[in-house]
A = this chain, B = another copy of it.
């Protein structure tokens, strides 16, 4: 049952992954054979080694590299790095995968180089991942999957997957799941799509997603709805990105009107995050735009008495974003919106629209917003 792919890796990315691992391993062995200390070179992963280019659309890893040389002090982490790469290679070969937690447990059979804590295996996995990213390979291609999976999807979309046992195509019609929804798997690389939808609506809360799904908003609006459930997981971001790329679809974001919604949820979806810069190129959604709730919406839709005062942490987050976030800095519209919110001193949740009736959001808010897509924040 474990050898699902006896003929070896199925596609070009798999071949590339194995070739990369083999070339690093070969260099290490050659050094040893020649009596030299083996080295592995990896990108430095921190904000100082990050660049932001508005045209490119995501935080990008810079050129700085660190070198892990085999010494008495690094013997353990050097061995762990090689063993983890070997684990990855086996998984690619078997078309299998491991969660970060499982990777940690696999090492329990490695004798002296077992990981004592998951933080250790995570750090080395991040290093390998950063190394692979330089060659255009993501963590998912190394077969390391995150624990958390994605949000739910409904609407005018057919997801084309495959039966892992037989390889035969499986089609999931996301317009035909009733009040349920399609749950995004941990890895989405192998998925393809068919859709006539006009856009993707990425929604912060599960409650709002359920409302739009139960009322089949996606049918009327000819769209695909995605539940992010707060800051979207990697699987969700990658799913939306692939959907946007492959189907040439714009992505509209519908989240709470607060600094967390702007700079954590939306910003992460659109351009990625600072501490995982080697991943952003795969996970960002450059075509994302911010539908609402905007500070101006609070006025335009009469939500003043359904707001809450900004907490100290909201204000701090907003000020931080204006000073330090290269994404916010790149768009004056965002600076203006955040200043407006700070001046109003309040925040509003997307569910605050229920003040005007449960389905005001469907009957009024979204249609009015969608009629004026140019007003969306960048």
A-to-B contact residues, CB < 8 Å: 1-2, 4, 91, 96-99, 101-102, 105-106, 108-109, 145, 147-149, 152, 159, 161-165, 170, 172, 176-187, 190-191, 205-207, 210-211, 213-216, 219-220, 305-306, 349, 351-359, 362-363
Contact = CB atoms under 8 A, between A and B. Distances in A.
Contacts of A159: 178, 180
Which among A98, A105, A170, A359 has the highest number of chain B CB atoms within 10 Å? A105
Given A206-B148, A358-B98, A183 B185 contact: no
A343 B165 CA distance: 43
A305 B178 contact: no
A182 B174 CA distance: 10
A336 to B, nearest CB: 27
Contacts of A358: 2, 91, 96, 98, 102, 106
Given A99-B210, A182-B182, 5 more contacts: A2-B358, A106-B354, A159-B180, A163-B178, A185-B213
Given A178-B172, A182-B180, A182-B183, A101 B357 contact: no
Among all A-B residue pairs, the 4 with the closest Cβ atoms = A161-B178, A99-B207, A183-B183, A179-B185
Contacts of A211: 97, 99, 102
Contacts of A164: 178-179, 214-216
B161 A170 contact: no
B185 A161 contact: no
Contacts of A215: 1, 4, 164
12 contacts: A91-B358, A96-B359, A101-B207, A105-B349, A105-B352, A105-B353, A106-B354, A145-B207, A147-B206, A149-B206, A180-B185, A181-B183
Contacts of A186: 179, 206-207, 210
A5 to B, nearest CB: 12
Contacts of A180: 159, 161, 172, 182-185
A216 B101 contact: no
A322 to B, nearest CB: 29
A102 B172 contact: no
A246 B190 CA distance: 36
Contacts of A354: 98, 102, 105-106
A13 B148 CA distance: 37
A176 B181 contact: no
Contacts of A205: 101, 147
A354 B97 CA distance: 12
A371 B218 CA distance: 46
Contacts of A362: 1-2
A299 B328 CA distance: 55
Nearest to A160: B178
A359 B362 CA distance: 46
Contacts of A101: 205, 207, 349, 351
Contacts of A147: 205-207
Contact of A105 (B109, B213, B351): B351
A305 B183 contact: no
Contacts of A145: 207, 210
A15 B98 CA distance: 50
A108 B163 CA distance: 50
B102 A207 contact: yes
A164 B177 CA distance: 11
A212 to B, nearest CB: 11
Contacts of A183: 152, 180-183
Contacts of A355: 105-106, 108-109
